[in-house]
């Protein structure tokens, strides 16, 4: 009787392991990391990261971004507070003593009871590729010197490393994110920023002093490497109750982008080339329906992308399309319906978004495109065959064995073998965690509303976890949807490291870890040059 109980218990245990795995694999992984729950608080105005540089009319809030379509131009921006001063930038290459000169412009704006400083923008043109330059601003008064490195010439196998941050704000957590990024041993060369900059609109009357503090706070990075800007909802600053009815007023006065270089009609959607990447920036908060300027621009833009020149096609936006948090749930759905078929058609490699104050990467268990069921029948068949074989072996040896001792040893070996095979099968089932998915078959009539496996689809990554004062999004939908491969409510940043035309390595780094620790990672296989299954490349 003891042998029978042992056998039945073992079989039930193995079956339980399989059932549990299938249940868990309905979605991806919800991280088990537990972050200490504490209120996210903005740093006070007297914080050292907000310090005003010394000297009369000293330039502050210095930041740079790409200034043309190819990467040979740079826009330098800064603010002077006492008087306009000079809008000229002096610049020279590392190996030259000759200083070149570029002339910029100066603007100001008013927002309710706030009047801005003098905001300077200067475009430097015809720079040499892959060259370190120094530049000076504040000519005639207090001069400050910074430097930057231009990207390599555009080409298909040019390696390049991007940093990724969204929804940064200016809290203590924001400071930790920016520090963590700066000390990451895999050095980002250009920052892709997914929108929501200062969160000044969270203050009474959209206190624009918090735009100034944010500019000084980010200067330690944004003055030395280009930040590629995406507009988020906190840049809208639409406040008719205080007479402010022009959307994006502070943002557009302070942050310039080279939108005209890509034939865009507005600074909220545009494209650039950088090394081996073609980067398209979209606006979640500008009209994007059919016939609108953004729609017509994107319709014409995607066919222009030459994957022989820029293999990596990257899209930035603010509101995510695939989101399993209850925060901002489905806010990106109408834009997804409009543009996702194009993303699949043109084989976009990856889409980065923010908005949700947490981290998530899309993916799915292998899904049938016809009936949307998990395709694990081969694995179940295998396990069933193994269990059946063990049962017959046990019966045969039970009948012919001469003692209970022999039977016990036979049973132990059989159950151990079965368990090993079961674990292997379960691991195989759970390995389908990064399948690319799309939902382009859906329309309001057919009811086909589940994302399905689509090797031509992008990977969707939400990285709105910069650290802003609104805190983390911790309320997740349960069970975890099949389109979600990994999610975690922690602050952090990411790195997208392009190796060549076929491979890129992506990693996400939470603030609580060491600088080199990867909390999530994935090898990307280029959708145009190497469109193989990258579902097994997660770490």
pLDDT bracket for residue 21 (50, 70, 90): very low
Residue 24 pLDDT: 41
Length of the chain in terms of residues written: 539
Burial annotation 448-466 (CB, 10 A radius, 16+ → b, else e)? eebbbbbbbbbbbbbbbbb
Q: How far apart are CA 170 and CA 197, in angstroms?
A: 9
Q: Is 372 a catalytic residue?
A: no
Residues 421/423/429/433 CA torsion (nearest 10 deg): -140
Given a cut of 60, whether residue 3 has pLDDT beyond it is no
Determine the Cα–Cα distance for residues 470 and 484; give it in Å rounded to an integer: 24
User: pTM for the full model?
Assistant: 0.85
Q: What is the pLDDT of residue 433?
A: 47
Q: What is the pLDDT of residue 20?
A: 47
Q: What is the DSSP letter of 450?
A: S
**Measured distance CA(181)–CA(377) in Å, rounded:** 44
Average pLDDT of the residues in 490-504: 97
How many CB atoms are closer than 10 A to CB 374?
18
CB 148 within 8 A of CB 137: no
Q: Which residues pair with 275 in a beta bridge?
A: none
Question: CA-CA distance, 253 to 182, in Å (whole number)?
Answer: 27
Sketch out the chain's domains with CATH numbers.
153-195+268-365+437-536 (3.60.21.10), 382-432 (no CATH)
pLDDT of amino acid 65: 98
Q: Are 169 and 207 in contact (CB under 8 A)?
A: no
Angstrom distances, CA of residue 78 to CA of 117, 127, 169, 304: 10, 20, 19, 33
For residue 110, give Cα distances in angstroms to 76, 92, 214, 386, 501: 22, 35, 18, 75, 47
| Catalytic residue (one of 63, 328, 357, 493) | 328
Alpha carbon distances (Å) from 270 to 1, 164, 371: 75, 18, 38
Q: Is 410 helix (H, G, I), strand (E, B) or coil?
A: helix
Please, which pLDDT band fits residue 15 given cuts at 50, 70 and 90?
low
Residue 82 has pLDDT above 80, yes or no: yes
Residues in a beta bridge with 494: 164, 508
């Amino acid at each position: 009787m003891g042998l029978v109980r042992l056998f039945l218990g073992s079989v039930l245990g193995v079956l339980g392991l399989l059932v549990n795995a299938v249940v868990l694999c309905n979605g991806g992984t919800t991280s088990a990391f537990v972050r200490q729950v504490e209120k996210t608080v903005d740093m006070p105005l007297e914080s050292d990261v907000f310090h005003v540089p010394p000297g009369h009319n000293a330039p502050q809030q210095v930041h740079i971004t790409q200034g043309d379509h190819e990467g040979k131009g740079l826009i330098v921006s800064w603010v002077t507070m006492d008087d306009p001063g000079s809008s000229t930038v002096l610049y020279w290459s590392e190996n030259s003593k000759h200083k070149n000169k570029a002339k910029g412009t100066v603007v100001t704006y008013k927002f309710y009871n706030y009047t801005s400083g003098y905001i300077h923008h200067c475009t430097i043109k015809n720079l040499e590729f892959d060259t370190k330059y120094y530049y000076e601003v504040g000519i005639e008064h207090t001069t400050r010197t910074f430097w930057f490195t231009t990207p390599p010439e555009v080409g298909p196998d040019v390696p390049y490393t991007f940093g990724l941050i969204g929804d940064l704000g200016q809290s203590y957590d924001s400071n930790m994110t920016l520090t963590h990024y700066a000390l990451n041993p895999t050095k980002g060369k250009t920052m892709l920023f997914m929108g929501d900059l200062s969160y000044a609109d969270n203050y009474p009357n959209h206190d624009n002093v918090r735009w100034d503090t944010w500019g000084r706070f980010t200067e330690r990075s944004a003055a030395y490497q280009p930040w590629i800007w995406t507009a988020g909802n906190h840049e809208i600053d639409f406040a008719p109750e205080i007479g402010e009815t022009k959307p994006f007023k502070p943002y557009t006065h302070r942050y310039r982008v080279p939108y005209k270089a890509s034939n865009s009609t507005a600074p909220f959607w545009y494209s650039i080339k950088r090394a081996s990447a073609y980067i398209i920036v979209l606006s979640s908060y500008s009209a994007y329906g059919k016939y609108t300027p953004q729609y017509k621009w994107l319709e014409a833009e995607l066919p222009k992308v030459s994957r022989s020149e820029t293999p990596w096609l990257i899209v930035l936006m603010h509101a995510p399309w695939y989101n399993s948090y209850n925060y901002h749930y489905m806010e990106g759905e109408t834009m997804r319906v409009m543009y996702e078929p194009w993303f699949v058609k043109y084989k976009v490699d990856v889409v980065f978004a923010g908005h949700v104050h947490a981290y998530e990467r899309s993916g799915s268990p292998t899904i049938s495109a016809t009936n949307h069921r998990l395709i694990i029948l081969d694995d179940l068949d295998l396990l069933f065959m193994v269990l059946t074989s063990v049962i017959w072996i046990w019966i045969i040896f039970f009948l012919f064995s001469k003692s209970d001792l022999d039977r016990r040893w036979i049973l132990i070996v059989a159950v151990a073998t079965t368990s090993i095979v079961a674990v292997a099968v379960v691991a195989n089932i759970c390995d389908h965690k990064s399948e690319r998915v799309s939902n382009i078959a859906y329309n309001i009539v057919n009811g086909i509303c589940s994302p399905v496996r689509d090797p031509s689809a992008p990977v969707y990554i939400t990285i709105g976890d910069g650290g802003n004062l609104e805190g983390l999004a911790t309320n997740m939908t349960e069970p975890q949807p099949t389109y979600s491969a990994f999610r975690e409510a922690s602050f952090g940043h990411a790195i997208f490291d392009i190796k060549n035309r076929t491979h890129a390595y992506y990693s996400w780094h939470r603030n609580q870890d060491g600088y080199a620790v990867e909390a999530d990672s994935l090898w990307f296989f280029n959708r145009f040059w190497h469109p193989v299954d990258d579902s097994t490349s997660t770490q």
